[in-house]
Structure 1
Amino acid sequence: MALLEVKGIKKNFGKTKVLKGIDFELQKGEVLSIIGSSGSGKTTLLRCVNFLEFADEGTISIDGNVIYDGVKDKKIKDKELKAKRRHFGLVFQDFNLFPQYSVLKNLTLAPSLLGLGTKEELEKQAREIIARVDLSEKIDFYPCQLSGGQKQRVAIARALMLNPDILCFDEPTSALDPELTGEVLNVIKNLKDEGSTMIVVTHEMEFAKNVSDKIMFMADGVVEEIGTPEQIYENPQSEKTKTFLANSLEKF
């Protein structure tokens, strides 16, 4: 049974059809990279999966249990919404750290508000997780004292604090200078080695090829093609996929 199953997800903004029926599934421990041109619907799909947007149609299931039905779940109570979101951890492209709080406080704030442990327990957990992203020496620093790469690693650590079933990344390196991109991608590679289940929206073609179990190419709000990195990169079936890769792989 798949850990995550997404069926028939559709999303409109006014008269604009952004997602036109998205289907995919993800097994525990798999990494799915979503690639495609700007405007293809990648980020909207990720926001729907994380309940920052609500799909107009379709279902989202975890371990075979439907946690969202676009027809039935038009209004979700706040407590229920928080429970649904707990399945997912989302790392934004622009970090979204609280500038007024230290790294330690950024990590412990959400689990503290959710009552997931005592102050001592959460601080112990935060120190263990910040060590996993190699930032133990920065735990008392504030975001303004960190580089972009360090901020993104803190954002990843913050997402891990809630122990999500699936960790999601929305273009995690797009706000970084090229020399800082590698340190964030290395953290994601390490998470894969630890068995984390992840969805990564990315423009880093080489990274997607090397880290993903599956790659999904989106175009014009649909899944144009999905398969292993070898299938997508070496034997694409869709002309749109071929054109996109021909333009993107020139940058390798």
Structure 2
Amino acid sequence: MARYQVKIAYDGSEFFGFQRQGETRTVQLEIENALRVIGWVGQSITAAGRTDTGVHASGQVIAFDFEWKHSEETLKNALNANLPEDVAVHAVKVANEVFHPRFEAISRCYHYRIYCQPTRNPLRDRYAWRVWPSVSLQDLQLAAKELIGTHNFAAFGLPPKKGGNTIRTIYEADWSSYQEDFLFRVKANAFLYHMVRKIVFLQVKIAQGVWTVDQLREGIYHQVDQLPGLAIPNGLELVQVQYQNKNFDE
């Protein structure tokens, strides 16, 4: 019996989130079904993060114990042969027997995509949030700078357990753009529930002149209630989970 560390990608559009919910279609259910086809008899896989309905991933990490007598590459291929088209295994390796993808993660990185057009684009809306009135890169970057550091983000999301710790450290927060497209990249030790979508929403409203940077600072540096607003899930993607000496590129 070995514990496997697996990197997966999925289009979250047709899933009701990652976590198993009975027979409702979730990413976890599809992966566990594919594992059972090839002989897995475990109860549950573990994951670095439980993404919401509509949220995508290119760097989600899962783990499970499995009595597998073939190579990691063969396991990857066997899983992909039994997974639906909107889920794929990208890398497999044997981990130590106590590895946990969530509790051992030292950072997570998310991307969020927006595009600025006066009318919707059905070909874009699956993976991005249409924003109008338009915004400027300079205004978005000005807001993003305020997020970096260790702060109490209680106004920006909920902890995994009621009354839990809401202090998080954001290492990187930056916007880039190409024509009407904007990409937000944020990296932190961990995130609260809905935290990325809320800070994206607030930055966009600041760039549109609806909110001010001072109001963002108020949420970061003072104990205030949950700030309003939430960006849609479609634009959000979990792109990387990092570990101490346990990454796939090592």
User: TM class by shorter-chain length?
Assistant: under 0.3
TM-score, structure 1 length as denominator?
0.25
Higher normalized strand content (fraction of residues): 2
TM-score, structure 2 length as denominator?
0.25
Higher normalized helix content (fraction of residues): 1
Quick check: which has more Rg, 1 or 2? Answer: 2
